[in-house]
Structure 1
Amino acid sequence: MSDLLVLRDGDDVAVATRDLTPGDRAVTPDGSTVVVHGDVPRGHKLALRAVATGDPVRKYGQTIGVATADIAVGDHVHAHNLGFDPGEREAPLGGTRTELVVPDGPRPTFRGYRRADGRVGTRNYVAILTSVNCSASTAKMIADRFPQDELDAFENVDGVIALTHTSGCGLVPDSEGGQVLLRTLRGYAAHPNVAAVLVLGLGCEMVPGSALAARSGTVADLGMPGIGAPDPAESSGLLAGIPEDTVVRSMTIQETGGIRATVRAGVEEIRAMLPTVNARQRTECDVSELVLGLNCGGSDGYSGITANPALGWASDRIVAYGGTSVLAETPEVYGAEHLLTARATRPEVAKKLLDQLEWWRSYMAAGQGTLDNNPSPGNKAGGLTTILEKSLGAVAKGGQADLAAVYDYAEAITDRGFTFMDTPGYDPVSVTGIVAGGANVVVFTTGRGSVFGCRPTPSIKVATNTPMYERMSEDMDLNAGRIVDGTASLEEVGAELLAMILAVASGEQTVSEELGIGAEEFIPWHLGAVT
């Protein structure tokens, strides 16, 4: 293993594979050496060539910023001498097409739950879905009445989870925020990993339980005051039907007689659901039924070198077989959007992504910020300096496949292939949108050590580096750091990850599921004025 990784010919910087100190002679992959001038932590950047103040600095074959001071060969390149470059980047509206090859041999399969609408679940949950924060505590009390030992008699039931949130009232009903919340809650009610849902409200909120529990109709039909019928083009995302074989019940605390009475009634409702849910059986399903969510958190200098491209390899393989993958976190593709728009199958797909980025520029400006406020302090400690560098590594999760569709937050994912969803970069809000869209498996890459979960969808956590994996092995599912260590190739780790995705889709638990975490990470994106 060399001391430095050079990612593309012509790059101005390399990535350190170990902690470097002044005077070290760091070895590059071709055997040449660079004398190190200062401390360079593992995962950080070392200059391979001199860069004058104001000149661009290249990594991944792309500009990651401009030098804010003269940089000499062997210098540590980070926030003290590298700054954000807001320069224009041409974003083509398609034109780059990649033909993904399906490998010879039998097609992979997994054992999932086929629902009445044709989608396939990887889990079989009973969900208590709250229409408003006022019913959150009551929902948790009901779920707490079903510990694992009570569910042991129902081997096909993965659990009873309370999906609570902090909104549901005080929003302008026909605002963007009201629509986003409704779309998110409906997406969870209709999710293929949910076999039964108890919709629980207070009784006087903006989003009545009837709007979430109904299987069809417009929002106007469902008693949403102030919200008219949606645009037909958006109806599949806003009012996606709950499958006919999903058991649906709803109640309100006010009508039922208060918290204690509602807990008693809710427990009885769920006990009545359990035999029906338990009767569902896993069946053999083709790999093309996977809807894979791609996300990252606590990224570091290795994210774009190990875990993210290995996930991109697995994503490409699933797409080649006719499945679906979903990239997200719009603020974290800023600076790399041209790599995605070039792969768009149609100009309007690329244009929608660019429109979303323009919305984000305005949104950040209204909040007195800019998109280059990223990376986070943890990202910077791990070696990432600018949002351009972070984004170039983040898009690697999407592999090389053509970009087939771009979705709004929590919109139902209906296209097959590699797709994108507009979400914030904040992990739980981002993944909540992806799951609401229908992702039945999520892979979450991390360099600093995220402890993320996202029930009812299993979350596979992939470490980008071996030291963190060894330190937090009880919270990680796979170590992609072996790619840098030289003990496994990118393709080998990608193949391991694909095999793990199929095993988890068939019921194998992830480490976050073993710990029982994931319900608290249900956080719909809060947009708009609260009155």
Structure 2
Amino acid sequence: MPDLILKLQATDNVIVALQDLPAGEQVVLENDTYILPNGARAKHKFVTEDRQPGDPVRMYGVTVGRATQPIARGEVITTFNLKHEADAYGIAKRQPYTYQPPDASAFAQKTFMGYPRADGRVGTRNYWLVIPLVFCENRNVLMMKEAFERELGYGQTDRYRDQVREMLHLYQHGQTDVIKKMQPFVDAEQNKTLTQAPERPFNNVDGIRFLTHEMGCGGTRQDSAMLCELLAGYINNPNVAGATVLSLGCQHLQGDMLASAVKRQNPHGKKPILIYEQQAGTEYDMLSQAIKETFLHLIEINKIERQPTPLSQLCVGLKCGGSDGFSGLSANPAIGHLSDLLGALGGRTVLAEFPELCGAEQNLIDRMPDDAQAQKFIDLMETYAAQAEAAGSGFDMNPSPGNIKDGLITDAIKSAGAAKKGGLAWVADVLDYAEPVTAPGLNLLCTPGNDVEATTGMAGSGANLILFTTGLGTPTGNPVCPVVKISTNTALQTRMPDVIDFDSGPIIRGEQTIEQNGDALLNWLIGVASGEVLTKAEQLGQNDFIPWKRGVSL
């Protein structure tokens, strides 16, 4: 029988309900009996001892809040009786840290089929990129998108268009009543995992990715510079073989700036970059030339073939979104174990979302290689927090209504669970937004907690896969980096099979350990990295791209 409750650390004074517990329920843990006067819904927490206003509440071994009202033993913590509170942190508080890497011998000889690049990195996909330097070119990017996707077979199946077509036919034949009685269209194939792409003329080109954005002009020069670094990172991403760049001509972000950034970030890269300027002539002339030369480069990159590649060439982003009270118990620690495995194999992982490290800072500082990296992390955290407060917000306001409803009452609770994605390994490097990932092991990347801004940043720093845990469900994807959605609970996987790729729910039911689930995920991920399995986001054509805008518009 699965456990009803769970206490994570000996010093914790809250216990997690793993199932719905009714009012008056009596539960026993470690020879202690607790009576729940009001019950507790699954994912929520009740206190192990009476708490008075000002008393700390601890979970995951750290402070996650302070009581604002009396909380009796067995009562559930809520936004009414608890406020966000986190432990102070700093270099002076560093404690000795020891770490024993997991046994990764079972994966040492395993490989994935990847696309080799001139700089020595390896892609899990082979994409051509079409990007605008400024929002004025978004329409032209979309014109190219329609032309290429329609003719080369990269578009998505338009089942919704078919639905509208059938309803229009019924309406035109006076059968409106039939429309009212129609059941939702059921696509028997929609929940099946695709094992290969449909027939296309370029078998080794996984797709052409067309990005649009609302930046490049009219904002601060700092935002244009940051956009430049981000777009350069996308061109340098190992999943990208080359890029077509559309420029208006008069915007802040110029073509030569982007070319310089690409070269500075990656001196050994040799990817073709085609840059076109609309103000040099007519739109038709520009797009016709861009289409012709892009097509010729597709012919060339189609000659690149997948080759057996060690798992050390994986660079995996670690992300959570639509989190719930099980995130820190199942999916997050499972991918944390996977992160430790990859680090032991020489691979790279990227932990982002700095607002969701609030309260976990000291543990990460203790794991830094030196004081310089620790200070960089502190500076990034404090600068970000100050900017949020200056805007009338703060990290304490991070949990969403959905987070709170499913047991994440304070940002410190959410963050302590989110940090589990980083496993236990030493931190190899600390990076600001759009800085390239180069160090093997665990890298910390400063991004917002916003799902798409974070995944956009991880792909821009070089991730060739992203693991995305969720307790509530989200369709988030990325244009150049496959995003694997991992459910924290099986009910979500059952409810949203069209967006969930992998289930960590067996951990909650006691059917798998965290390590077993993480091992299974890494084995399955080899198929994704090899292009043998498309993620659900890829199948849906979910290609989300939102640059992080730090400045103001001028």
Normalising to structure 2: TM-score of the pair?
Answer: 0.87
Alpha-carbon distance, 1:373 to partner: 1.1
Distance in 1, matches of 2:388 and 2:58, equals: 27
Higher mean displacement: 264-273 or 398-407? 264-273
Alpha-carbon distance, 1:209 to partner: 2.3
Q: 2:248 — aligned with what?
A: 202
User: Does the alignment pair 1:511 with 2:536?
Assistant: yes
Distance in 2, matches of 1:497 and 1:316, equals: 13
| Contact kept in structure 1, 2:133 and 2:254, CA below 8 Å | yes
Higher mean displacement: 263-272 or 497-506? 263-272
Q: Secondary structure at the match of 2:522?
A: helix
Match of 2:127 among 103, 119, 125: 125
Change (3 A) 1:401 1:73: same
Q: 1:58 — aligned with what?
A: 58
User: Does the alignment pair 1:156 with 2:204?
Assistant: yes
Match of 1:344 among 368, 391, 396: 368
Correspondence list, 1:315-334, <5 A: 315-334=339-358
| Contact kept in structure 2, 1:323 and 1:416, CA below 8 Å | yes
Q: Note the alpha carbon deviations across 1:439-491, whole angstroms, 9 max, x for none.
A: 11100011111111012100111001111121112210111111011222211
Change (3 A) 1:94 1:110: farther
Q: Note the alpha carbon deviations across 1:65-112, whole angstroms, 9 max, x for none.
A: 111111112211121211122553455457413131443354221111
AA in 2 matched with 1:523: I
Q: 1:282 — aligned with what?
A: 306
Match of 1:436 among 452, 455, 460: 460
Q: 1:187 — aligned with what?
A: 233
Q: Secondary structure at the match of 1:474?
A: coil
Q: Secondary structure at the match of 2:148?
A: coil
Distance in 2, matches of 1:280 and 1:383, equals: 48
Alpha-carbon distance, 1:526 to partner: 0.7
Q: 2:69 — aligned with what?
A: 69
Change (3 A) 1:505 1:153: same
Q: 2:175 — aligned with what?
A: none
Change (3 A) 1:100 1:148: farther
Q: Secondary structure at the match of 2:526?
A: helix
Alpha-carbon distance, 1:335 to partner: 1.1
Distance in 1, matches of 2:19 and 2:140, equals: 51
| Contact kept in structure 1, 2:501 and 2:535, CA below 8 Å | yes
Distance in 2, matches of 1:242 and 1:428, equals: 29
| Contact kept in structure 1, 2:232 and 2:261, CA below 8 Å | no
AA in 2 matched with 1:193: N
| Contact kept in structure 2, 1:441 and 1:501, CA below 8 Å | no
Q: Note the alpha carbon deviations across 1:14-62, whole angstroms, 9 max, x for none.
A: 111122221222354x475422211422111122222222111111122
Q: 1:249 — aligned with what?
A: 274
Alpha-carbon distance, 1:144 to partner: 1.7
Q: 1:269 — aligned with what?
A: 293
Q: 2:109 — aligned with what?
A: 107
AA in 1 matched with 2:280: E
Distance in 1, matches of 2:31 and 2:281, equals: 74
Alpha-carbon distance, 1:357 to partner: 1.1
Q: 2:44 — aligned with what?
A: 44
Distance in 1, matches of 2:54 and 2:484, equals: 41
User: Does the alignment pair 1:472 with 2:496?
Assistant: yes
| Contact kept in structure 2, 1:190 and 1:241, CA below 8 Å | no
Count residues with an aligned counterpart.
504
Alpha-carbon distance, 1:383 to partner: 0.4
| Contact kept in structure 2, 1:411 and 1:437, CA below 8 Å | yes
Alpha-carbon distance, 1:154 to partner: 0.9
Change (3 A) 1:147 1:69: same
| Contact kept in structure 1, 2:102 and 2:340, CA below 8 Å | no
Q: 1:222 — aligned with what?
A: none
| Contact kept in structure 2, 1:324 and 1:418, CA below 8 Å | yes
| Contact kept in structure 2, 1:56 and 1:66, CA below 8 Å | yes
Q: Note the alpha carbon deviations across 1:98-150, whole angstroms, 9 max, x for none.
A: 13144335422111111001111111001101111110121021012122762
Distance in 2, matches of 1:454 and 1:168, equals: 20
Q: 2:141 — aligned with what?
A: 139
Q: 2:3 — aligned with what?
A: 2
User: Does the alignment pair 1:313 with 2:337?
Assistant: yes
Change (3 A) 1:172 1:59: closer
Change (3 A) 1:262 1:505: same
| Contact kept in structure 1, 2:398 and 2:411, CA below 8 Å | yes
User: Does the alignment pair 1:395 with 2:419?
Assistant: yes
| Contact kept in structure 2, 1:172 and 1:178, CA below 8 Å | yes
**For structure 1, which runs of at least 5 residues remain unmatched after alignment?**
218-235
Q: 1:227 — aligned with what?
A: none
Distance in 1, matches of 2:293 and 2:268, equals: 18
Q: Secondary structure at the match of 2:109?
A: coil
Q: Secondary structure at the match of 1:46?
A: strand
Distance in 1, matches of 2:67 and 2:5, equals: 21
Alpha-carbon distance, 1:171 to partner: 3.0
Distance in 2, matches of 1:505 and 1:305, equals: 26
AA in 1 matched with 2:550: L
Match of 1:375 among 399, 404, 407: 399
| Contact kept in structure 1, 2:478 and 2:542, CA below 8 Å | yes
Change (3 A) 1:167 1:402: same
Distance in 1, matches of 2:95 and 2:250, equals: 48
Q: Note the alpha carbon deviations across 1:195-216, whole angstroms, 9 max, x for none.
A: 1210111121111223324586
Q: 1:84 — aligned with what?
A: 84
Change (3 A) 1:337 1:371: same
Q: 1:412 — aligned with what?
A: 436
Change (3 A) 1:4 1:213: same
Distance in 2, matches of 1:324 and 1:424, equals: 20
| Contact kept in structure 2, 1:138 and 1:262, CA below 8 Å | no
**For structure 2, which runs of at least 5 residues remain unmatched after alignment?**
154-199
Q: 2:160 — aligned with what?
A: none
Percentage of identical aligned residues? 37
Q: Secondary structure at the match of 1:76?
A: coil
Distance in 2, matches of 1:306 and 1:216, equals: 39
Distance in 2, matches of 1:196 and 1:467, equals: 41
Normalising to structure 1: TM-score of the pair?
Answer: 0.91
| Contact kept in structure 2, 1:93 and 1:350, CA below 8 Å | no
Distance in 1, matches of 2:329 and 2:547, equals: 31
Q: Secondary structure at the match of 1:10?
A: coil
| Contact kept in structure 2, 1:190 and 1:242, CA below 8 Å | no
